[in-house]
Amino acid sequence: MEEDAELARRAARGDREAAGEIYDRYAPLVRAILLDATGSLAEANELVQQVFLRALGALGQLRQPEGLCGWLVGIARREGAEYRRQAARRRKRFAPLVDEPPQRACDPPPEVIDEVRRAVRQLPERERIAVHVHYLCGEPVESARGALGLSPSGFYKLLERARQRLRAKLLKTEGKR
């Protein structure tokens, strides 16, 4: 697999194939981060497009091309934060028109998946991103280095902590049924 740095350099020179590969490699991770922010897969998908347009259009400004994953994660986080800010503003603006705040319901997934997503969303942000990276990136250790600035052992420690939390939350909940 071609390294991120080389892909980033090629894409910055206007190589569409490289830009497409960056999208293929990181769209699921970016989508997961935006799903955390929006709670709606449809909304997340719209923002994914925005994140990639912004990131790929400004790749020339990326001083360390090997930090491509971190760059994308950073833009996705900012885009998610902006979404939440605007959603709060919309809630205020449209308050006279709706019965309750227009909180976006998740797209209707099966109940268990819904619960898992909710539990992941409640994790501290770095742990959450570690879980996303583990399940969505082809080279999780490399991606974690870029996205979280962690060594392999640091990444696995963080992941383990997240898993313990999820296990306590999800398997305990399951047992209660």
Partner 1 sequence: MNANHDELVQLDEMLARSYEPVREPVAGQREAILAALSLAQPADRARPRRAWNGPLPWLATAACLAVAAAAVALLVPSSARLVYGIEAVPKRLAEVTTIRQRGYRMIYPREEANGPPIRVPIEYLVKRPDKFRLTTYGVSYPSDALMIVNRGIIVCDGSTESWISETHKTFVTRPIGLLDAWIKTETHAQNHLAELLGPPEVPYKKIGTETIGGRECDVYEGRFGSRSAFQDAFISKLWLDPATGYPVRSTQDEVLPDGSTRRVRELEEIAVDVSLDDKLFQMSAPEDYQTTTVAALGDATALDSQYTSAGYGGDKKLEFWHALRITDNAALVVWRRSKPEEKDDGTSDWLAGVTFSLLGDDRKRPVQHDWLYQSRSPDVWNWSLVAVADGPLPDRGGVCLELKTKPLVSRMEVIPLRFPERGLERIIEAAARATLPDDGPRLKLEHLRALAGQLLRNRPNP
* 8-state DSSP, 95: G
Interface positions, 48-67, toward partner 1 (CB under 8 A)? 48-50, 52-54, 56-58, 61
CB of 142 to partner 1, least distance (A): 19
Q: Is 39 left (phi over 0), alpha (psi -120 to 50) or beta?
A: left
Interface positions, 93-152, toward partner 1 (CB under 8 A)? 93-94, 96-105, 107-109, 112-113, 116-117, 120, 131-132, 135-136
From 2-10, 74-82, 122-130, 141-149, span contacting partner 1 (CB under 8 A): 74-82
CB of 3 to partner 1, least distance (A): 21
Strand extents, DSSP E, 11-111: none
CB of 135 to partner 1, least distance (A): 5
Q: Which CB atom, from 102 or from 152, has the smaller least distance to partner 1? A: 102
Distance CA 140, CA 120 (A): 17
Terminal Cα distance for the chain, rounded: 44
For residues 146 and 66, is the Cβ–Cβ distance under 8 A? yes
Both tokens of 130, joined, read 């570690």
The answer to whether residue 74 forms part of the interface with partner 1 (CB under 8 A) is: yes
Interface positions, 15-44, toward partner 1 (CB under 8 A)? 16, 19-20, 23-24, 27-28, 31-32, 35, 40-42
Distance CA 105, CA 38 (A): 9
CB crowding 14-38: b at 16 or more within 10 Å, else e? eeeebbebbbebbbebbbbbbbbbb
Distance CA 2, CA 72 (A): 17
Residues found near partner 1 in the complex (CB under 8 A): 14, 16, 19-20, 23-24, 27-28, 31-32, 35, 40-42, 45-46, 48-50, 52-54, 56-58, 61, 74-75, 78, 86, 89-90, 93-94, 96-105, 107-109, 112-113, 116-117, 120, 131-132, 135-136, 163, 166-167, 170-171
